[in-house]
Amino acid sequence: MNIKNISILFFLILFSVNSNAQKDNLNTWFQYTMSAKLNQKYSFTALSQYRSYDLVKDSRLFLVSTYLERKLENEIYPAMGYMFLVLEPYNSDMEKKIRYENRPFQQVSFKNKIGRTVLLHRYRIEERFLTNPDDFIVRLRYLVSFKIPLNKASEKNILYGILKNEIRMNVVKEEQFDSNRITAGLGINMGEKSALEFSFVNQLGSSDTSNYVLLGFRNSFDWSKSEN
């Protein structure tokens, strides 16, 4: 069985598991990501994200984030960034409350290839400042991600598979485990600078499980060319 068939099988299995995991399977996740190369060493990324308990209307989370990344030798990428979030969870009485969060973060990513598959490891430290009630949490995150070409090497690279797993842990907290997130999906390159991604996300928390259908759009730019 080749890697294409394996990725499709994993995708179908995960969808089957998610569809029976819990009652709130209409959670949706929309995301836009823009990345720009500033010069040979630095790049800039910005993203916005909206999550809903239903198809669109019942807001769950909204965030904007940005970070500046530097390229070192051997495909090592340290970065610093900031994220602002509006969280709208339900309490035990099924009443919604609004929490705001300011989140500076630091991360380092390592990229390499297994054949044509791009492998990424990302380690991130977050300082989370939350309101309603006020709280401060330091959280550690580790992400492993695979971007798997689904076209033959001789064909134009249009389709790719997405496999990710991320574990998140609290540094100082009674409950150190925060969550584990598994993502499986399909990406479609719509040109050299844009891609559309469709994924299923399963997030296992310390006390609950959430499932999402994710629709994402990516743009990439090379602003360093303007220097020439």
Please state, for a pLDDT cut of 90, what percent of the chain lies above it: 75
Please state, for a pLDDT cut of 70, what percent of the chain lies above it: 87
Beta bridge partners of 216: 31, 197
Residue 73, both tokens: 């030798």
How far apart, in whole angstroms, are the C-alpha atoms of residue 106 and residue 203? 22
Beta bridge partners of 149: 160
Q: Which residue has the higher pLDDT, 124 or 93?
A: 124
How far apart, in whole angstroms, are the C-alpha atoms of residue 196 and residue 217? 5
Average pLDDT, the chain: 89
Backbone angles phi, psi at 120, to 5 degrees: -130, 135
Residue 196, both tokens: 């559309």
How far apart, in whole angstroms, are the C-alpha atoms of residue 73 and residue 96? 47
How far apart, in whole angstroms, are the C-alpha atoms of residue 50 and residue 7? 27
What number of CA atoms fall less than 13 Å from residue 8's CA on the CB side?
Answer: 8
112-150 tens-digit pLDDT: 999 999 999 999 999 999 999 999 999 999 999 999 999
On the question of pLDDT at 65 being above 80, the answer is yes
Q: pLDDT grade, residue 153 (50/70/90)?
A: confident
11-60 tens-digit pLDDT: 444 444 444 333 455 699 999 999 999 999 999 999 999 999 988 899 99
Full DSSP string of 19-40: HTT-S-TT-EEEEEEEEEE-SS
pLDDT at residue 18 in the model: 41
pLDDT at residue 207 in the model: 84
How far apart, in whole angstroms, are the C-alpha atoms of residue 41 and residue 78? 11
Q: Which residue has the higher pLDDT, 25 or 201?
A: 201
pLDDT at residue 68 in the model: 98
- Residue 27's nearest CA partner among 47, 51, 8, 5 is 51
- Ramachandran assignment for 167, one of left (phi > 0), alpha (psi -120 to 50 degrees), beta (any other): beta
Residue 189, both tokens: 């390159």
On the question of pLDDT at 4 being above 60, the answer is no
Task: State the DSSP code for 155.
Answer: S
